Amino acid sequence: MTATPQQWSPNRVARWAGGLYLAYILANILASRLGHIGLSDATTLRASILDDEGMFRVGLVAALASALLFVLTAWALYVLLRPVDGTLALLLLVLNAVGVAVQCASYLPLLFVLSQHGAGTDLPSLTEPQRQDLALLSVTASQTGFATAQLFFSAWLFPLGWLVLRSGFLPRLLGWLLLLDGAGVLVWFGQALLVPELRAISYPSWVVGFLAEFGLGLWLLVRGVRYAAPVRGADEPIG
């Protein structure tokens, strides 16, 4: 018989959360490497669509898959950390879901560029330079939407880091790294919208983010958690 959520042990939930987190990170890396989706500039992203459409499509699928994996990761972490503080656990889930929704919406202009790049789909009323400008504008809008999503991804790391610190069953170092990661992503958000030409400002945040989030995923998958209290079922009150 399949186990219900009420029967899941904390270790099982922790390992699911860790596996999903690592799968999300891998899918994100594939999206960046194959389709230049995420950290690249608008010119590089547009060139990726025009020069290797097939590879870009694979990258876009990886980006959408990473979005789904991220929501599932947040859900698993919500279940795991709800006994620590139900309100903060719910907050991290909501912030993550909003960030994923904004990020997925930012991919829509890329679909427009793809449709214009396909055979027989050019807008007949536009000249070639106008179509090129429209494509670049669409890619730029996509990049702006992606940067906007980072505001929510920054915010979700603060309740997550605080819950890890208070949990008693996860390393406190990971909690501090997650809080520092949240501050770093907030810097990235500000840099992308206020001073987009100074990308180097956000480089340290990417390093801290990888250490914090990969570290948490790996710890949960390999070590699980160090307490025996059961994870509460979905029908139990939050608080």
- pLDDT of res. 118: 55
Residue predicted with more confidence, 7 or 100: 100
| Positive/negative CA dihedral, 130, 133, 137, 143 | positive
Residues 169 and 76: their CA atoms lie apart, in Å, by: 16
Segments in 82-127 forming alpha helices (H) = 86-106, 108-117
Average of per-residue pLDDT across 6-17: 84
3-state DSSP helix/strand/coil % of the chain, to nearest 5 = 80, 0, 20
**Which region holds residue 237: left if phi is over 0, alpha if psi is between -120 and 50, else beta?**
beta
Position of tokens 């009420």?
6
- pLDDT of res. 233: 46
- pLDDT of res. 232: 47
- pLDDT of res. 115: 72
Residue predicted with more confidence, 150 or 2: 150
pLDDT digits (tens, 9 = 90+) for 41-99: 777 777 777 778 788 889 899 999 999 999 999 999 999 999 999 999 999 999 999 99
Minimum mean pLDDT range among 3-12, 53-62, 213-222 = 3-12
Question: Domain-by-domain residue ranges, the chain?
Answer: 8-222
Helix (H/G/I), strand (E/B), else coil: 195: coil
Q: Is 65 within 8 Å of 163 (Cβ atoms)?
A: no
Residues 202 and 184: their CA atoms lie apart, in Å, by: 7
Average of per-residue pLDDT across 7-21: 90
Residues 82 and 123: their CA atoms lie apart, in Å, by: 52
Q: Is 109 within 8 Å of 76 (Cβ atoms)?
A: no
* b/e 114-149 (16+ beta carbons within 10 angstroms → b): bebbeeeeeeeeeeeeeeeeebeebbbbbbebbbbb
End-to-end CA distance of the chain: 30
pLDDT digits (tens, 9 = 90+) for 163-201: 999 999 999 999 999 999 999 999 989 988 888 888 778
Segments in the chain forming alpha helices (H) = 10-35, 42-51, 53-81, 86-106, 108-117, 128-167, 172-194, 203-222
Residues 117 and 148: their CA atoms lie apart, in Å, by: 26
- pLDDT of res. 23: 97
Q: Is 13 within 8 Å of 221 (Cβ atoms)?
A: no
DSSP single-letter state for residue 39? S
Residue predicted with more confidence, 70 or 122: 70
Instruction: Check whether 159 has a pLDDT greater than 80.
Output: yes
Residues 153 and 130: their CA atoms lie apart, in Å, by: 35
pLDDT digits (tens, 9 = 90+) for 135-156: 677 788 888 889 899 999 999 9
Residues 220 and 14: their CA atoms lie apart, in Å, by: 5
- pLDDT of res. 129: 62
